[in-house]
Structure 1
């Protein structure tokens, strides 16, 4: 029974990637699609709030430039939660609360991702796989006497490009020189030996293991044929359990955190639009619903106002027709319908214009007052 798993991997020099253009590193936490969706969300929210607030809020009225600047300022100020109290409609408040929740989630996720990118070791391997070594024609190192030589020859590498080294100190020197300066670009060796090399504090930050290229049964103990110790030791290895892992960590250095057997990813993965698609769907649907409710209320209010105006106009026309129907009775002095006429005072520029007033004795009331309908005025045209 093997006491530890094994395999063949690459040991390469680590390149520091901290000298890259880090002035744009703040864009890396979010993918391009998520950045575009976020910008679209700001514009859409500003448009919805402006549409709802414009009929009743003076802050959103005025010139076109003023309306546009107010709407955009309010929308983008939600990013820092400094939008203030410039909305009045309850519908707008619902839209803003939902959008602020979306912004809060994205901002918190962005902060965590950016912190991970800035604080993580920005170290990348100088070589990632055997194909890169083969195409570049680089020199490759291996441990003296190891079967790795035959593996590399089988993979198609030229024997003249292979160099053997006896210990880890020689590994470090050859990798530091590089293939162009008499060294090698990578060391191919079994994983336990590379792990032991990296467990040394002198090398852990300078070198890196990448890309498991070959799998072996593992490392075990060798005995003479038919030795009774083979069975006993195999059973003992199986019975070790957690103790076996502790022994392996102590003597082989496997407590050193290893990268994946593929290319190590030192940067945090950017946040994608799919991660927040549910939030965007909720805010778009709720904003559209509030906008439809606002439009429906405006249309209903306008219809009600027009209907009330028509009713008032019809009522006014009825009263006007009543007055027009009463007018001829006032002007008709000779049709005998004098009971509905009010009292008029007759005046004439000529003193003799009034010849007399005839009174009906039966119309004289006891208090010597004459009723209005009993007064007849005769105009003398002389």
Structure 2
């Protein structure tokens, strides 16, 4: 294989990180100029921008995806295809057409992974709303917590994704473990879908640990994470909220990262799709925070989504033998999500008397 692939991967990955840094600066500039509540309009604009760039990256992969691993000859193309287990059929004697097949598949894997991660992020929003409400956080401080929470999420996703890729490349049976875990998680989510979620901050392990080992102010302090009293540094309840948001994302990563590995085993594509979805999560939170309760069938939809993805990992060989492709996966995933949203709107949840 041409050793220039290392340079190409570095340039592709480095360029992606620079772009993300610039977009975050723009995002923070729009959202964080003042300590105020983010409007629905601002959230809609920023969500649209993130989706636009995610789709633009899909187009980029369709055109130049082969540059990621410096695929310029049949030998490299076959090696990369085998290494990352792409379900494609190359065209012997036609390098240009084979590379286009590879690029189209790479872009489709990215798009499918992005949709999966974006969908699973909605469940994260349910928990974020619960955390904010249980602590009584002023809505004008939401954006500050989410800024730092998502920056931490980007770091932890990077670590988890490349560790996961290393494990899969060394122990391919781990895919079956991931698949069984996702099926189990999906079944449990469906069983518990109608349970009312509650949270008592005083009983939370993170809160109890922090309260035991650090000095905590009795109340919020102007949206600060830390506060000094007589020269001593205290953490505030808002910092505890940040810790809970961060730990929540780590827990959700245990589901979402194996789910994307069911779509592609290329760690770069997993990272790109994952990060685009995560970076759009904050604007999506402000977009859905006041209406997410209306989508009461979404939990059931996400549970079916996890079961399908887990089953796909367990039956990968059998599905490939009958011609099941990434496009089929994308259609089923979109169908599950669209179905859960449509059912929620057509059959709205009846509110209890007095609500």
Q: TM-score, normalised by structure 2?
A: 0.19
Structure showing the higher helix proportion among its residues: 2
Answer with 1 or 2: which has the greater Rg: 1
After TM superposition, the score normalised by the length of structure 1 is 0.18
